[in-house]
Each structure stands twice: as structure tokens, then as C-alpha cells.
Amino acid sequence: MALMLKSKDKTVSTKTKEKAVSNERIKPKRYSIERKEARWGFVFTIPCLVFFAIFAFYPIIYAFITSLTDRRAISRTWSFSGLENYIYIFTKDNGGFPLSNSIRATLVFTLGTFIPMIIISLIVAVFLMQLRKNRQRAFFQFVYYTPAVLSSVVAATIWMILFDPRGLVNQFSNFVLGTSGVDYNWLVNSTMLQISTMLVYFWKYIGYFVILFITGLAAIPPTIYEAATVDGASRWKSFWRITLPLLKPTTVMVSIMAMLQCLKTFSTQYMFHQGGAARRPIDVITMNIYFTGIRNGRLGRACAMSIVLFCIMLILSYLQLAFTRSAEEVEY
Amino acid sequence: MQKFVGKVRISEILIWIFLIILTAFVVIPILFMVVASFMDAKQILAMPFSWIPSKKYFTSADRTFFTNFVKAIRGNNNQGTFPRNVLNSLIVALSCAATTVILASLCGYGLAKFKFRGRNFVFISIMATMMIPFEAIMIPLYMVTQGFHMINTYWGLIVPFMVSAFGVFQMRQYLLTFPSEYLDAARVDGLGEFRIFWRIVFPNCTPVIATLGILSFRNQWDNLLWPLLVAQSETMKTIPQYITKFAEEKLTDEGAMMAVAFLASIPMFILFFSLSRYFLGGAAVYESRKG
């Protein structure tokens, strides 16, 4: 014990010695400025760092630990159960709403939403760039963006009424398809229900993605198009040969962003379910987490699902980064 | 040459038709919401639908065009929590916007203008939190909030959204271009570091502050999932919860549902129409992420 103390003393004394030496070597004034700068840097960043430690890193670790336990909301005691939760969510049907169904619903929703969204918003953005006046473009951007400021709950409410058997959507479909009085079961038939949620999401976010594409398009210097026109390229050709290749980085990034956003969808599905639609066809992962963890109190299982969702999104985020890095090499 | 001009015109007409069809698709549901909130359920589901609210559809004689709004405000069983819930939403959204702006600019300033050991580590770990979706950590976050005894309080609703990694990133990117000479000049003049931040840096970030503040405000106004977990008593609930609850029980009263949706959208419409520049900028801001 005494020895330890002694050695500790020794290290301390050598440290102070070193400090003194370094103090002598470096100009004292410069040293203090650097130290001061470092201190203020810490002071400014510490609040955020603490925040993220408590509300981002700790929860994800906590989620992982909880996913290995049989924790429930109603009982205070819990014990480690290994991978039981993971085996449960992947093999059992979780009271009629298995995770496999949720993954299917999420993937169907994501693919069915973001692919049309990317294609149409790209087309719209290209069309808007063709307009002669900036004011016209600004007007359309403004209009297309309007649904995005409504909250998702409001959007879902409006569409729920539009999808009513006697609602506007059925009237419109009958008008377009030349049928009369046919009910297309928008909120009843499981396929139609999924299409309905996609339509709501598409409606809400189309303007947002149009603006992202316009930002990308505006970055392409007009001189390239001028050169192409001089060389005799048609608009069609310059779209395929110039716009698309140069827009590739934007497209890749926007599409992965859209994908991540679609994976997190909750409000539309929840609202439709509360409004009486069946849960199973639109039981996305987030909804399953909510029902399993909060309504049924199975915190362990919900955390296991959260970790699965986290892994899916991590892989896609990694793809986003990888693509962005390769995309940065494009130069105009 | 003449033919070429003609061709261009045709393509232009097609473009306009396409854009106008999309405009109709986007605008009609919003218009429907506004119009239908003045209608009786009978008229909303009439075939064919007429766009002008009319009294002849009213099922009861004492109905006026504003009955739906009265119902919306009274709520289920005349509990009258609507004003309180709007207030809650406003408090939460405004506090989150304010804290996001302040904390993000503090941190962004620290990361952009100060050299210290571990700066890159701090930056990368904050960026890494962007990879952690809220939906994946909401259950543990709920347990953490419970541990802090913040369930059913404003603290519980606000604290987990006080700042976003995206906000820090935006602020840092913006402040990297801020000339350091100003800061040095202020230091020479003897201004303290906090004063430099508050008097010089903060007022010069207005565009980013506006964009981030609006983004945060909108996200919280829209947030349904977290309040569903945390706000359990009627008086702590926020507007999205109110709408869900209302829709659940007033399912057949379409007019009242549209009225409540319309009322809930008014603050966002006001914000959007007056500050649309920052909304549209806020969407474009994502694009500069790679910069």
C-alpha cells in the first residue's frame, strides 16, 4: 500500500515537472491562448455532447440491453433471457401481428412510395426548370410544398374522408374509369389500403422532393446546355445525356433519404388504423413497436424490434454515405 | 424553323398540362378540407360533390356553417380540452425551436471556430446520432424519461427534442464561412467569449436560425408518436393526439373532423404563408449536406 502511494506521488511529481519544463519551452502567452481556446471550445460543445449522450447513445445501448431481457411494463423484476426476444419476434406471430408481416408492410410501403415519388418529382423538377419565368417556378414550388406543412395526422384525416365509399376519390375513379357507382374499397381491401397509405405519403411529400431536385438541377451550369444546343442536341437528348448523368449524385442521395423517411412512417398508418382500417396490411415496424411496447407492455420484445429497425436503417445509411462519397467525384 | 417553334410550343403545352394536373392533385384535398369544414356530413358525402357549402343539406334546423367548429372545439363529451391542447402544442413546438436554435448554434460555433483536442471525435459522434432514428430508441427513451420522472410533463415532451444533430451540422457548416477576423477584433476589444457569441455570432446566423427554428417547430407540431408515449392525461395531450382521439369517436361526423383538421392547420398555414422563403430554403438545405 505504502509502495503504491509512493509510486503515485512519484508520477505526480514527474508530471508537474514535465509541465513546468514545457511551460518554459513554449512561450507562456501562446500556450495560454491555445489552452483558453480549447477550454472555450469545450464549454460551447459540452451541452450538446451531454444531450446526445443521454438522449441518443444511452438509449440505443439501453435498447440493446433491454432487448436481451424479458422486461415488461407492469412488473418491476426482470431477468436476462439471451436472444429469446429475437427468436420470438422472428418465429412467433406476436398475437397475430408478427414482425415478418411488419417488415413486409414496411418494405412494400417504402418501395411503393419512394420509387414513384423520386421518378415523378424528378420529372416535375425538370419540367419546372423549363418554365420561362422564375415567378412561375416559384409559384409551383410554393403550391407543391403546401401539403408538407400540414401535419401527417391532418393529411391522413383528410384522405380518410376522401377515401370514404361515397367520397371524392371513388367519384373521381368512377368518372375516369367510366364506371358508375363502383366502390373501390380504398380502406377495406388490403391491397387498396396499402395503396391508400402510399398515396397520402406521396401527396404530402412530393413538393419537398421536387425542391430537393430543383436545388440539384440549379447547380448544373447552363453553359453546358448552351454548348449542347450549339452542337445540335435536342432537348430530349440533352436530358438523357447531360441532366441525368450530372444529377446522379442528387438522385442517389435524395432517393436514399426518401427511403429512410419512408421506413420511419407511423402517423398515417396509425391514423388509418384508429379510423377503423385493418391493422395487419399496414402494420409497419414502428406501429408494431408502439403496440408491442406501449399497448401490450412487452418492452423487451419492442426493443428487439427497435434494434432490427435500427440495423435496417444503419445499413441504408451506410449505403447513403458510400454513395455520397462516390457521388462527390462528379464535376460539372 | 417554323416547325421547330411549333414543336417547342407543343412540348411546353404538355408541360403546363402536367404541372396543372399535379397542382389540382395537391390543392384539391386542402381545398376540400377548408370547404368541408363548413358543410354538413350529408353534403360532404353527396353524389356528385358540390364545392359550395349549402344550407339545404343541413340535417337539423339549428345548424349554422360554424357548427362544425363549435363541435371541434368542444371535443368529445364536451371536455373542452382543445384550447389547452393547442397551447401545449405551441409551448412544446416553440420551446423546441428555441432550444434547438440556441444549443445548435453554441455547439456549431464551438466546432467551427475553436481548435481543441478531440474536436473531430465530438463532431463525428454528434453526426453519428443522425444514424439513430428516433423510432428505434423511443422505447428506451420512454424508460429514461420515466427515470427522470418526466412522464406527463412539458419537460418530458420537450427535453428529448431540444437539439438535433442536423441542426448542429447546419450551424457548423454555416459558421465555418464566418470570418474569424470579427471574432479576433472583438477579443482584442476585450469582449468575453459568451458576449462574442451572443452579440456577434448569434445575430449573424439569422438565415440558418430561421430555417432550423421553423424545421424544429414543424416537426414538433407534427409529432404524434412521442406525445402518444409521454402525454397521458387529457390536459397534457397535443394537437395531433387530440385529432386522433377526435377522429376515433366522431368518425361519422366528417364535417367536424375537417373542422378540427382545419383549425389545427391554421398556425402552420400562417407560418408558411408569411415565411415560405425559409420553408422552401429548409428543404433545400438538406441538399448542401454533402458540402
Within 8 A of A295 by CB-CB distance, chain B residues are none
Question: Contact at 8 Å (CB) between B176 and B112?
Answer: yes
Burial class (CB in 10 A: 0-12, 13-18, 19+), B67: middle
Contacting residues for B142 by C-beta, under 8 A, at least 6 apart: A293, A294, B229, B230
Output the tens digit of pLDDT for each of chain B's 291 residues.
334 455 567 878 888 999 999 999 999 999 999 998 888 888 888 777 888 887 777 777 777 778 888 888 887 776 778 889 999 999 999 999 999 999 999 999 999 988 888 888 888 888 888 878 888 888 889 888 888 899 999 999 999 999 988 889 888 888 888 888 888 888 888 888 888 889 888 888 888 888 889 889 988 998 998 999 898 888 899 999 988 888 877 767 888 889 999 999 999 999 899 888 888 876 555 444 333
Res A6: pLDDT: 43
Contact B138 A306 (CB under 8 A): yes
The letter for the amino acid at B75 is G
Peptide bond into B207 cis (omega under 30): no
CA angle A92, A98, A99 (to 5 degrees): 110
Within 8 A of B49 by CB-CB distance, chain A residues are 168, 171
Q: Angle A190-218/A152-162 helices, nearest 10 degrees?
A: 130
Contact A267 B29 (CB under 8 A): no
Contact A309 B135 (CB under 8 A): yes
Among B12, B132, B254, whose Cβ lies nearest the Cβ of A161?
Answer: B254
How far apart CA A30 and CA A120 sit, in angstroms, is 58
Within 8 A of B10 by CB-CB distance, chain A residues are none
Among A144, A161, A294, whose Cβ lies nearest the Cβ of B22?
Answer: A144
Average pLDDT, chain A: 82
DSSP H stretches of helix in chain A: 2-25, 28-52, 58-67, 84-91, 99-130, 134-149, 152-162, 168-177, 190-218, 222-230, 235-238, 244-263, 267-274, 285-290, 299-327
Within 8 A of A286 by CB-CB distance, chain B residues are 135, 225
Contact A299 B45 (CB under 8 A): no
Within 8 A of A235 by CB-CB distance, chain B residues are 11
Within 8 A of A266 by CB-CB distance, chain B residues are 135, 224-225
Res B291: pLDDT: 31
Res A328: pLDDT: 55
Res A189: pLDDT: 87
Among B30, B160, B290, whose Cβ lies nearest the Cβ of A328?
Answer: B290
Within 8 A of A299 by CB-CB distance, chain B residues are 139, 143
Grid cell listed for A181: 357507382
The letter for the amino acid at A235 is R
Asked if pLDDT for residue A229 goes beyond 90, the answer is no
Within 8 A of A317 by CB-CB distance, chain B residues are 130-131
Q: Tens digits of per-residue pLDDT, A92-122?
A: 888 788 899 999 999 999 999 989 999 999 9
Residue A184: strand, helix, or coil:
coil
How far apart CA B235 and CA B80 sit, in angstroms, is 10
What distance in Å separates residue A95's CA from the closest CA in chain B?
20
Q: Tens digits of per-residue pLDDT, A257-303?
A: 888 889 888 989 998 998 888 888 999 999 999 999 888 888 899 99
- pLDDT > 90: what percent of chain A? 27
Contact A153 B243 (CB under 8 A): yes
Contact A303 B139 (CB under 8 A): yes
Contact B132 A235 (CB under 8 A): no
Q: Tens digits of per-residue pLDDT, A7-55?
A: 444 444 444 444 444 444 544 455 677 777 788 888 889 999 999 999 8
Residue labelled with grid coordinates 401545449: B88
Among A162, A275, A306, whose Cβ lies nearest the Cβ of B137?
Answer: A306
- pLDDT > 70: what percent of chain A? 87
Grid cell listed for A304: 428487439
Among B129, B132, B251, whose Cβ lies nearest the Cβ of A310?
Answer: B132
Residue A247's pLDDT band (boundaries 50, 70, 90)? confident
CA distances from B20 to A128, A140, A162, A206 (A): 11, 9, 20, 14
Q: Which of A107-116, A129-138, A252-261 is predicted most confidently?
A: A107-116
Q: Angle A99-130/A190-218 helices, nearest 10 degrees?
A: 40
User: Which of A34, A55, A139, A318 is the best residue to mutate to test the B interface, defined by the most B CB atoms within 10 Å of its own CB?
Assistant: A55
Q: Give residue A229's Cα distance to chain centre.
A: 39
Contact B139 A302 (CB under 8 A): yes
Contact B265 A62 (CB under 8 A): no
CA distances from B8 to A48, A135, A230, B11, B22 (A): 55, 21, 17, 5, 21
Grid cell listed for B16: 403546363
Domains of chain A: 93-327 (1.10.3720.10)
The letter for the amino acid at A39 is R
Domains of chain B: 2-74 (no CATH), 82-249 (1.10.3720.10)
Res A76: pLDDT: 78
Res A77: pLDDT: 79
Q: Give residue B1's Cα distance to chain centre.
A: 51
Question: Contact at 8 Å (CB) between A68 and A81?
Answer: yes
Distant-in-sequence contacts of A242-245, Cβ < 8 A, 24+ apart: A243/A126, A243/A217, A245/A330
Residue from B157, B160, B159 nearest B237 by CA: B157
Res B90: pLDDT: 93
Q: Which residues pair with A69 in a beta bridge?
A: A80
Q: Identify the closest residue of chain A to B51 by CA–CA distance.
A: A168
User: Which of B137, B152, B275, B288 is the best residue to mutate to test the A interface, defined by the most A CB atoms within 10 Å of its own CB?
Assistant: B137
Contact A274 B244 (CB under 8 A): yes
